[in-house]
Structure 1
Amino acid sequence: MKRMLLLTTSVLLASCANRGGDIDGVQSFQHEGGDHQEGRIAYAARPPAGGAHHPTWQNCGVYDQPIYDEYAVHSLEHGAVWVSYQRNLPAAQLETLKQLVDGRTSTLLSPHDAQTAPVIITAWNKQLAVQDAADQRLKRFLEMYEQSKEAPERGASCSGAYSGTV
């Protein structure tokens, strides 16, 4: 009886340990928060996953035009997740992305002209590129990193600021 109990406990612990594990393909970066700069910023990665950014954040929401990286990065610093896509993404996939962010208060959705993958999801210091909007890793990423502890100003506002587009 003792062996059976021990085996059950081990399986249960292993199952719990895997539930919140890493998401395959997520890239990690090392950016510090709080570096506010006016004007355009040359980012090494586009879309960027952190770093210097505009003093004003981008209002969270759905945009049908590209947004400025500098404002979006400030929103990431506040704990937002940015879902960006190539403009030629099929309409059905765009609808899937809209459903993904629907009802969430700390997300951005916009096209991005400089990205190389059809869909990229970004949080502060984390990013995942996928080929299809139906990829289940997008939902896991959003659940894991929206208002993540890694965001330097987690919980700060994602509204009441800038809502312009490029």
Structure 2
Amino acid sequence: MKRAFLPLLLLTLTACNKNAGIEGLQTFTYAAGDHRSGSLVYAENPPAGGAHNPLWQNCGVYDGQLYKEYAVHSMEHGAVWITYRPGLDAAGLAQLKTLVDGRPYTLLSPYEGLDTPVAASAWGAQLKVDKPDDARLKAFLDKYEQGPTTPERGASCTGGYSNVR
């Protein structure tokens, strides 16, 4: 009789593990709350956590580069930061804007020096893709916007810094 329950158990565990298998996903471990002033150096490009400015970046769509130190603080609050190489064509940019439309905990901005055309970063997680219409971007957003790695889930994504570099 114990064997009859095994398939049900596996099915249940698989259903609870939604989006766990995002191909190309990289994860990192960072302690939260490390507030510092000035320009900081990060292990990932773009960053996926770590020390950051005491002020956060207001969530939204930007057409200029953001200060990494403010954006990282927003990720600590549960934001996903979608970055793209400057010069992305209008159609690709429109796809990314549609992807983040209506999502209150997202940042979208160009980012100089990306090694792939598009990157999605959250606190402790990152996904790099070649095309703005890659379905894994939505899966990443669904999992990590206010997701399980967020140290300060529900903290504000407004009332902070709103300028670009």
Q: Same fold (TM over 0.5)?
A: yes
The amino acid of 2:92's aligned partner reads Q
1:57-136 aligned at under 5 Å gives the runs: 57-136=56-135
Q: What TM-score, normalized to structure 2?
A: 0.91
Q: Using the TM superposition, give the Cα deviation of residue 65 of structure 1 relative to its aligned residue in structure 2, in angstroms.
A: 0.3
Q: 1:52 maps to which residue?
A: 51
Map Cα deviations across residues 40-99 of structure 1 (whole Å, 9 max, x no partner).
Answer: 001121210000000000000000000000000000000000000001211101100000
| 1:121 counterpart SS class | strand
Q: State which drifts further: 90-99 or 9-18.
A: 9-18
Q: 1:146 maps to which residue?
A: 145
Contact 2:19 2:139 in 1 (8 A): no
Q: State which drifts further: 96-105 or 42-51.
A: 42-51
Distance change in 2, residues 1:35/1:18 (3 Å): closer
Partners of 1:109 and 1:11 in 2: how far apart?
Answer: 38
Q: Using the TM superposition, give the Cα deviation of residue 147 of structure 1 relative to its aligned residue in structure 2, in angstroms.
A: 0.2
- Where do 5+ consecutive residues of structure 1 fail to align? none
| 2:149 counterpart SS class | coil
Q: What TM-score, normalized to structure 1?
A: 0.91
| 2:154 counterpart SS class | coil
Query: Which is greater in Rg?
Result: 1
Q: State which drifts further: 130-139 or 12-21.
A: 12-21
Q: Using the TM superposition, give the Cα deviation of residue 154 of structure 1 relative to its aligned residue in structure 2, in angstroms.
A: 1.1
| 1:95 counterpart SS class | helix
Q: Percent identity?
A: 52
The amino acid of 1:89's aligned partner reads L
Q: What RMSD in Å do the two structures reach over aligned CA positions? A: 1.9
